[in-house]
Structure 1
Amino acid sequence: MTIIQNSTIIHKPLEEVYQFLADLNNHEQLMPDNIYNWTSTADEAKFTIKNMAKLALRISERIENKELVSVPSEEAPFAITLRWKVEPETETTTKATFVIEAELNMMMKMMASGPLQKLVDHQVTRLKEVLG
């Protein structure tokens, strides 16, 4: 299992950060430029990663004000879980952590680890920018 993650501190209350992340419609704002053909509902998102793959994700688990778990809703190139964890730092700040867990063989790990880390870093940075 390959685990790729990054965290940031957001100057918003926990509930506000969780509510934003709980709606997959909002996740388009977090995506890098190489994502297109985005369609989403609150629970599902479909998109294409330029020169790579099409992905369809659905929220498989919501733990109120703690964690959101997304998994592929259609066949994916490899088994993957995307997990947003939120925890209070103070009353007005929240620590948000984005974790990708992927079943990658050695060849896929060499090819995909870099882009997946970039995706995690980009989404965490964008979350901080979007929510201030």
Structure 2
Amino acid sequence: MNLESPKVTLDKSTEETFNFLSDVKNFESLMPENISKFEVLEEDKFLFALKGMPEIILKKKEAIPNNKIVLGAAGGKLDFSLVADITEVATDKSEVQLTFNGEFNAMMAMMIKGPISKFIETLATNMKTTV
């Protein structure tokens, strides 16, 4: 399953955007309102839970300066990644798109497609006011 957020344009350079997203504790400010738990576990790993959903642990797996950050599932039964692609629009403007990739059986994919789509859309939208 491959889901993409809308692209959002930020009034920040690619470097500023990359630095913000590289610090996992900043993801707390991007989370939806229905978050029930957020905890930084390590410098590159955090746990979060949305109301009515199981806890998810994400770990920074890859970082390509000013271009891409890849977060992946750390433990648990589901294997997936959340990729932030950062593109320069102008000297002080950048564009970010989040992509969720995961291998799920058809039943699981049907159940999580809606909530995951809404989740990554919220993360992207919240970047406009937070980053």
Q: Could you say which residue in structure 2 is the equivalent of 1:44? A: 45
Aligned to 1:109: 109
Corresponding residue SS for 2:90: coil
Q: Percent identity?
A: 26
C-alpha displacement at 1:49, in angstroms?
A: 2.3
Output the amino acid matched with 1:43: D
Matches within 5 A, 1:16-35: 16-35=16-35
Corresponding residue of 2:3: 4
Q: Aligned partners of 1:80 and 1:34: how far apart in 2?
A: 22
Report the CA distance between 1:109 and its aligned residue.
1.5
Question: Pairwise mapping of residues 1-132 of structure 1 onto structure 2 (< 5 A)?
Answer: 2-6=1-5, 7-40=7-40, 41-76=42-77, 78-131=78-131
CA distance in 1, matches of 2:120, 2:126: 10
Q: Which stretches in structure 1 are left out of the alignment for 5+ residues?
A: none
Report the number of matched residues: 129
Pairwise CA distance, 1:58: 0.7
Tell me the TM-score normalized by structure 2.
Answer: 0.93
What residue ranges of structure 2 are gaps of 5+ in the alignment? none
